[in-house]
Structure 1
Amino acid sequence: MVNTSDFIKRIDQILKFYDLSASAFADTIGVQRSSISHLLAGRNKPSLEFVLKVVSSFPDVDLYWLLFGKGSFPKKIKTASPIVEKKEQMAAGNEVMADANPRSQAIDKIIIFYADGSFKSYTEKGG
């Protein structure tokens, strides 16, 4: 059985982690704002539908942690920014490409394409 007061504390942790108000949280998971208000006040118990909406809306929330406090929150550590993750993915992709091409990795030409259809081409001179 879910301990309602502990469940409410975990909901509060989620709100603080994502810096959400109760009404923004309700909008995010797709429930009425009054449902969150009644739940946080202890008047209502969480329904299975409510729990599933929280878990599906917030991938860092583990079902067993939310229900029973077992496990950890967040599931994975938040990175500094999505840009850092993208750079790491690109670097990993470049390593794979470098391994696949046994020829020299010297850059011959760089071409930058702009949104208006124009471009600039840079070629190393001299050498």
Structure 2
Amino acid sequence: MPDINKRVMKLIDILSVSRQDFAARIEIAVTVLSHISSGRNKPGLEMVQRILKEYPKVSADWLLLGTGKPYREEKQQVATKELEEKLYALGLIIKDQQQNTERKLKELSDLLKKA
């Protein structure tokens, strides 16, 4: 069984939840988890993202690479939250700029049609 599979199963033990509850919380079928447990399949990126979203204290480094501890330290959580907020703000700025650009392109297109 690949190491990431072992870490997913270890995480379930650490969280003290049943496989059914874990699967339900990250919105996967229990059979997917069974295949991971048996080593038949590896967890995909989407599953890893769901785990990290549902359990924000879990360390991505530990889950993906096996480095560090299963839980992030508090300062990492604060830094991650700040980065998420900045990323969200940046996304809003980009969306606004894209809308402005599209509006200006439409105005130019309309002017060219009139010419």
Q: TM-score, normalised by structure 1?
A: 0.53
- Name the structure where helix makes up a greater proportion of residues: 2
Out of 39, 43, 46, which is 1:46 matched to? 43
Question: CA deviation digits over 1:97-125, x for unaligned, max 9?
Answer: xxxxxxxxxxxxxxxxxxxxxxxxxxxxx
Q: Residue type matched to 1:9 in 2?
A: K
AA at the equivalent of 1:27: A
- Unaligned 5+ residue runs, structure 1? 78-127
Cα deviation for residue 42 of structure 1 reads 0.6
Residue 36 of structure 1: which of 2, 19, 33 is its match? 33
2:21 aligned with 1:24, yes or no? yes
Q: Secondary structure at the match of 1:50?
A: helix
- CA-to-aligned-CA distance 1:1-25 (integer Å, 9 cap, x gap): xxx5211221122111211111111
Residue equivalent to 2:104:
none
Matches within 5 A, 1:25-104: 25-76=22-73
Question: Could you list the per-position Cα deviations for residues 61-108 of structure 1 after superposition, in whole angstroms to 9, with x for gaps in the alignment?
Answer: 11121011112112248xxxxxxxxxxxxxxxxxxxxxxxxxxxxxxx
Letter matched to residue 71 of structure 1: G
RMSD across aligned positions (CA): 1.6
1:48 Cα offset (Å) = 0.6
Question: Partners in 1 of 2:35 and 2:23 — Cα distance?
Answer: 12
Q: Measure the CA separation in 2 of the matches of 1:12 and 1:27.
A: 15
Letter in 2 for 1:6: D
TM-score of the pair, normalised by structure 2 = 0.58
Corresponding pairs, count: 74
Bigger Rg over Cα: 1
Aligned residue identity for 1:50: M
1:7 aligns with 2:18: no
Distance 2:45 2:23 in 1: 15
More strand by share: 1
